Amino acid sequence: MSVVIVVGAQWGDEGKGKVVDLFTERAEMVVRYGGGANAGHTLVIEGVKLVTHLVPSGVCHPGKACVLGDGMVIDPHTLLDEIKDCQSRGLLMRNELLIGLGAHVILPYHKLLDGLREDHSAKRGKSIGTTRRGIGPAYEAKAARKGVRMRDLAKPERVRELVAANLDEMIPLIQYLGGETPSKSDISKWIDDALAAGDKLRPYTGDAGRYVDETIKAGKHVLFEGAQGCLLDLDHGTYPYVTSSSTIAAGACQSAGIGPTRVDAVVGITKAYATRVGEGPFPTEIPGEAGDRLRKAGGEFGATTGRPRRCGWLDLPALRMGVRLSGMTSLALTKLDVLGGLGEVSVCVAYKLDGKELDEPPTDPEDIARAEPVYRKFPGWDRLPSEAHDIADLPTSARAYVDTIQGMAGVPFCLVSVGPDRAETIRLSDPFA
């Protein structure tokens, strides 16, 4: 039996989808534990693309159990669409999905509030750049103990009471932010739609914490799939430019309801370069045409919002912070192929701030924005052989790049990805071993 957690090492979009898909071959169960439809995972299986937002990326393996943990915030309509899409491909059949009854429900006013806040803050140059999927407001309602949970959708009266209590507080805020006051008919439609979605989702709901625990106790391999990345963690990330959930490995225990003593390994996913979506400091960002070239080569556009991702060189101080925060035992390096064809490749090995060299980002985002990256340069390489199955198959300069990252991050690579397809992978060790 092994329990493995997969997390994004930096600001999300590291290519977790492909890695979780590969690791699911060895797992019996895949558990998504935090966030909501702010995430977007693109899977390419035998040339066919599947984008998921809520359903774990292990979905492409028929017969494996997919669990949505209690720590998630779920948009029931998005989830129904995803289930339909997956089932039309013969995936995610009835007994292959379990949605935690304790997960919170995203309602239309959470999304409305998210968007209004972003617009209002943007006028003052202070937006976070959220995905506008209602994530922050849904977690706020949860923390205020006024949230609607999946279990509540079975009780229409309770949902009506909760929504009324929520909106008593939210309507003045919506008005303050310049939004239109929702009408009575808007509100009843929101409730009716959520209840109808709840009816359709009910056969898939249950006690996720117990189910996961029993699977672990039965000696099965269980994979936990993090969303976003460690530096977007609400407590430990680059606050306030973070999401509203716990994205580090510890979040798996908290949100899925398992004890930390159950965990055997934590795999961090890092791209061979860095990206960030939304606002917030990004010292290694590559401005102008060079950044555009990388964005195009890597297809760096958000799977959820379509927003162009900000692109930059790999940032080892940020990676080290992710390694520390999640106690990573190994790393998976993705998209190494995207750097092919560049004359020269840089990696940030430290930051310089006020005359001092730092091996991790400073804690204050204003200091991160002021910090100067210290780069090490590598000669570029041409296209990587997509048939590469061993590090020795890589060109010398790509090998030197990989070795340097591994040495400076302080944990070994378990996998190097050289293309989007399952086959385009160098597997170095098995986290379930």
Report the residue number, 131 or 205, with the smaller CB distance to ligand IMP: 131
* 135 near ligand IMP, rule: CB under 6 A: yes
Per-residue H/E/C for 282-338: CCCECCHHHHHHHHHHHCCECCCCCCECEEECEEHHHHHHHHHHHCCCEEEEECHHH
Which C-beta is closer to ligand IMP: that of 40 or that of 251? 40
Using CB under 6 A as the binding rule, whether residue 131 contacts ligand IMP is answered as yes
Angle, alpha carbons 286-288-293 (nearest 5°) = 75
CA dist list (Å): 215 to 7, 11, 23, 27: 21, 31, 17, 11
Give catalytic status of residue 41 as yes or no: yes
Nearer to ligand IMP, 27 or 135 (CB): 135
Does residue 70 sit in helix, strand or coil? Answer: coil
The label of the residue with tokens 């340097």 reads: 404
The pair of structure tokens assigned to 340 is: 């092919």
Q: Contacts with ligand IMP in 333-372 (CB under 6 A)?
A: none
**Stretch of residues binding ligand IMP (CB under 6 A), selected from 89-97, 178-186, 225-233, 379-387:** 225-233
Assess 226 for contact with ligand IMP (CB under 6 A): no
- Is 55 near ligand IMP (CB under 6 A)? no
Is the C-alpha dihedral spanning 177, 179, 182, 187 positive or negative?
A: negative
The one segment of 33-41, 104-112, 184-192, 387-395 that binds ligand IMP by CB under 6 A: 33-41
Cβ-based neighbours of 288, under 8 Å, separated by 6 or more: none
Q: Which of these segments, 128-136, 141-149, 377-385, 401-409, binds ligand IMP (CB under 6 A)?
A: 128-136
Q: Which of residues 271-290 bind ligand IMP (CB under 6 A)?
A: 277-278
Q: Does 331 interact with ligand IMP (rule: CB under 6 A)?
A: no
Q: Is 270 in the site for ligand IMP (CB under 6 A)?
A: no
Return the range that interacts with ligand IMP (CB under 6 A); candidates 8-16, 148-156, 260-268, 350-358.
8-16
Q: Is 13 in the site for ligand IMP (CB under 6 A)?
A: yes
What would the two tokens of residue 66 be?
Answer: 């997919």
- Contact segment (CB under 6 A) with ligand IMP among 82-90, 127-135, 218-226, 388-396 equals 127-135
In angstroms, what CA-CA distances link 115 with 108, 119, 135, 330? 11, 6, 11, 37
Q: Residue 239 or residue 432: which is nearer to ligand IMP going by CB?
A: 239
Question: 221 an active-site residue?
Answer: no
Q: Is residue 223 a contact residue for ligand IMP (CB under 6 A)?
A: no
Residue number of the CB atom closest to ligand IMP: 278
Contact of 223 with 212, CB cutoff 8 Å: no
Tell me the closest approach of the beta carbon of residue 394 to ligand IMP, in angstroms: 28
Looking at the Cβ atoms of 257 and 280, the one nearer to ligand IMP is 280
The encoded tokens of residue 182 equal: 């929702």
Least CB distance from residue 125 to ligand IMP, whole Å?
15
How far apart CA 399 and CA 401 sit, in angstroms, is 5
> Which helix (H) or strand (E) is 193 found in, with range?
helix 184-201
Residue of 5, 68, 112, 232 that binds ligand IMP (CB under 6 A): 232
**11 versus 381: smaller Cβ distance to ligand IMP:** 11
Residue bearing tokens 């979040």:
251
Contact 385, 337 (CB under 8 A): no
39 binds ligand IMP (CB under 6 A): yes
**CA 82/CA 201 separation, integer angstroms:** 12
Minimum CB separation of residue 424 from ligand IMP in Å reads 22
Name residue, tokens 């999401």. 243
Q: Determine the Cα–Cα distance for residues 56 and 53; give it in Å rounded to an integer.
A: 8
> CB under 6 A: which stretch of 205-213, 227-235, 317-325, 352-360 binds ligand IMP?
227-235
Instruction: Give the Å distances, CA to CA, from 290 to 270, 308, 313, 349, 375.
Output: 21, 14, 11, 20, 16
Size of the site for ligand IMP (CB under 6 A): 21
| Cis-peptide, bond into residue 240, ω within 30° of zero | yes
The answer to whether residues 428 and 415 touch, using CB atoms and an 8 Å cutoff, is yes
Work out which of 2, 38, 205, 238 binds ligand IMP, going by CB under 6 A: 38
Please identify which residue in 78, 228, 326, 425 interacts with ligand IMP, judged by CB under 6 A. 228
CB closer to ligand IMP, 23 vs 241: 241
What mask, x for binding ligand IMP by CB under 6 A, covers residues 239 to 268?
--x-xx------------------------
Q: Which residues are catalytic?
A: 13, 41
Note the residues at the interface with ligand IMP (CB under 6 A): 11-13, 38-40, 128-131, 133, 135-136, 227-228, 232, 241, 243-244, 277-278
